[in-house]
Copies of this chain bind each other. A is one copy, B any other.
Amino acid sequence: MRFYKIKPQIRVIGFDDGTFRFKGRGRTILVGVVMKGNKDVLGVLTRWIDVDGKDATDKMIDAINNSRFKDLRVIMLKGITYAGFNIVDIQRLSEETGLPVIVVIRKRPDLKAMESALRKHFSDADERIELLKKAGEVRVLIEGKLYYQTFNMDYGQAEEVIKVTQKSSLIPEPLRLAHMVASAVMCGESRRE
């Protein structure tokens, strides 16, 4: 699974989640935005995931494999913890979709702090910590501003993909739009009696 050249019109999907009110219960929306590079939006996919649950990986796989987008080349995530501590297994996500994964993060993740939070609140902390570790080395793209992790893609190519999908923000456009949509849906949700 290698690219020999990153085209500016590469098809990517970026996932973000909505906000939620209570820890440990309820659900929030998972939004995937499919784009051609940083320009054209080709589609939007949604699923609902459990707050602090374990279904984020399955829901992403399901959304991708059951979509009409057959020419996706990369999955982009904004960190690997969705809906609280619903942690994505990026190895399984990559293997079951046949696509490389790039995780983009604004702050260097504090693994120690996450581990101790998990040990404090989750009986299955070991399993969740395993997923955090699977995500591998955190690389710097811009110190203090942008970090990333990859699975099944080498660093140079991942950096190229990040660059061709950025538009007006450091955050790649599919992730920026997924964030807007997920926030808007949860905001509408809170007004839905």
Contact = CB atoms under 8 A, between A and B. Distances in A.
Interface of A: 27, 29-31, 40-41, 43-48, 167-168, 177, 180-181, 183-185, 187-189, 191-192
B167 A40 contact: yes
B188 A40 contact: no
Given A167-B40, A177-B41, A31 B184 contact: yes
B192 A48 contact: yes
Nearest to A193: B48
A180 B27 contact: no
A62 to B, nearest CB: 9
Chain B CB count within 10 A is highest, among A43, A44, A47, for A44
